[in-house]
Amino acid sequence: MALTAAAVEGASSPDLSIVVPLFNEEESIAALIARVVAAMAHYPGTWNLFLVDDGSTDATLLKAREAARLHTAEIRLVEMQRNFGQTAAMQAGIDLADGHLIATMDGDLQNDPADIPRMVETLEARQLDLLVGWRKNRKDGLFLRKVPSWCANYLIGKITGVKLHDYGCSLKIYRSAVIKQVQLIGEMHRFIPAWVAVVVPSSRIGEVPVNHQARQFGQSKYGISRAFRVILDLLSVLFFMRYKARPGHFFGSLGLGCGAISGLILLYLAVDKFIFGSDIGTRPLLLIGVMLFLSSLQLITTGILAEMLARTYFQSDQSASYIIRDVTRVSP
């Protein structure tokens, strides 16, 4: 009996694709490839490796090609046209990955690829759609890395409702069919579990402790300044998780709140003037009441317009947040 095109495609797809975004990791790339190949040597299924060079300005791409030729594993190099950021590089790798499962990890040797087979087993055993690594014994600086991360993890969990110990760990295992429903933009890679929770129940998202190594080469691409970006991104996540399909409720609630306060202020001033005969023309409270009333009208109107725009949201521009120059298969 002839196989359908979908069946043929499914038969040729590997069980697992590993996606690694890279930016200026020339010193670690050879060791990274060797460790991934060694870690997956006894993996029972088929797998491939996608190395996404995010516009590196050093010899990362050149050394990746040289190191990949030393192995027989299927390794694909994805060259971005310029530096688009870690989120865009990760999205590019996920879009190109053809495995039934997709693993992501950093390219700085701090994530241990030996955890991947164990995480795959855990994901299948617990029937999860996303398994997040938890750097329980994190080898990073206390005040510049750990403390901001603890605060961010608490805030993200509190606001999104997805309770995890370590949102920032790049070592994750996804079901391809699920993660490909999520479009990552900006710097939203930190909030992937929250975005996944939009398309699947949070009960299908889990975590497991993983190994974490101290950085051996170069320096971190992130500093304390990222804490402010996390707060701004978190507000965006909160809005899209709760109000993407009904933005009118968000703006309408603010508008009604301003209108209610304005109504109380103006009612108080009206009673003060017409019953007690007070002069209210120069009182700042009158200006506040009028401004709140106007703000209420603007917010409610904005909510109506947002509802109209939301109807065409999914038909809007679907262009990717990155441009790929070339994809090269350097190993069979």
- Both 265 and 177 in one domain: the answer is no
For residue 8, pLDDT over 60 is answered with no
For residue 191, tell me if it sits in a domain: yes
Within the chain, what is the greatest distance between any pair of CA atoms?
94
Residue pointed to by tokens 């997040």: 132
Residue pointed to by tokens 């209210």: 280
- Both 209 and 260 in one domain: the answer is no
The one-letter amino acid at 213: Q
Cα end-to-end distance, the chain, whole Å: 30
Query: Once rounded to an integer, what is the mean pLDDT over residues 154-179?
Result: 86
Contact 288, 265 (CB under 8 A): yes
- Both 147 and 193 in one domain: the answer is yes
What is the reported pLDDT for 322? 67
What is the reported pLDDT for 6? 41
What is the reported pLDDT for 4? 38
Question: Using 50, 70 and 90 to split pLDDT, how confident is the model at 52?
Answer: very high
- Both 304 and 218 in one domain: the answer is no
Residue pointed to by tokens 């170069």: 218
- Both 184 and 78 in one domain: the answer is yes
For residue 251, tell me if it sits in a domain: yes
pLDDT digit string, tens, across residues 269-324: 999 999 988 888 889 999 999 999 999 999 999 999 988 887 776 556 565 666 67
- Both 292 and 202 in one domain: the answer is no
What is the reported pLDDT for 194? 85
Domain coverage including residue 279: 247-309
For residue 23, tell me if it sits in a domain: yes
User: What does DSSP assign to residue 102?
Assistant: E
Contact 39, 114 (CB under 8 A): yes
What is the reported pLDDT for 3? 36
| Long-range CB pairs of 156-159, under 8 A, 24+ apart, other chains included | 156/190, 156/191, 156/194, 156/230, 156/234, 156/237, 159/234, 159/237, 159/238
pLDDT digit string, tens, across residues 124-162: 999 999 999 998 887 665 665 666 677 777 777 777 778
- Residue where one domain finishes, among candidates 212, 244, 276: 244
- Residue where one domain finishes, among candidates 244, 272, 298: 244
Question: Using 50, 70 and 90 to split pLDDT, how confident is the model at 1?
Answer: very low
- Residue where one domain finishes, among candidates 244, 277, 293: 244
> How far apart, in whole angstroms, are the C-alpha atoms of residue 86 and residue 80?
11
- Both 256 and 146 in one domain: the answer is no
- Both 176 and 305 in one domain: the answer is no
- Both 258 and 236 in one domain: the answer is no
Task: Give the burial string for 117-156 (b: 16+ CB within 10 Å, else e).
Answer: bebbebbeeeebbbbbbbbeebeeeeeebeebbeebbeeb
Question: Using 50, 70 and 90 to split pLDDT, how confident is the model at 22?
Answer: very high
For residue 120, tell me if it sits in a domain: yes
Question: Using 50, 70 and 90 to split pLDDT, how confident is the model at 190?
Answer: confident
Question: Using 50, 70 and 90 to split pLDDT, how confident is the model at 165?
Answer: confident
**Which residues, 6 or more positions from 326, have their beta carbon under 8 angstroms from its beta carbon?**
79
- Could you tell me what percent of the chain has a pLDDT over 70? 84
For residue 170, pLDDT over 70 is answered with yes
For residue 328, tell me if it sits in a domain: no
Query: Once rounded to an integer, what is the mean pLDDT over residues 219-238?
Result: 65
For residue 305, tell me if it sits in a domain: yes
- Both 199 and 257 in one domain: the answer is no
State the pairing for strand pair 16-22/47-53.
Answer: parallel
Higher pLDDT pick, 111 / 307: 111
- Could you tell me what percent of the chain has a pLDDT over 90? 55
- Both 197 and 97 in one domain: the answer is yes
Query: Which CATH number characterizes residue 136's domain?
Result: 3.90.550.10
What is the reported pLDDT for 302? 93
The domain total for the chain is 2
Which among 104-108, 182-186, 211-215 has the top mean pLDDT?
104-108
Mean pLDDT of the chain: 85
Higher pLDDT pick, 235 / 74: 74
The one-letter amino acid at 234: L
Query: Once rounded to an integer, what is the mean pLDDT over residues 73-80?
Result: 95
- List the helix and strand counts (H, then E) for the chain: 11, 8
Higher pLDDT pick, 231 / 36: 36
For residue 319, tell me if it sits in a domain: no
For residue 262, tell me if it sits in a domain: yes
Average the pLDDT over each of 25-34, 130-139, 153-162, 195-204 and give the range with the smallest value.
Answer: 153-162
- Both 97 and 45 in one domain: the answer is yes
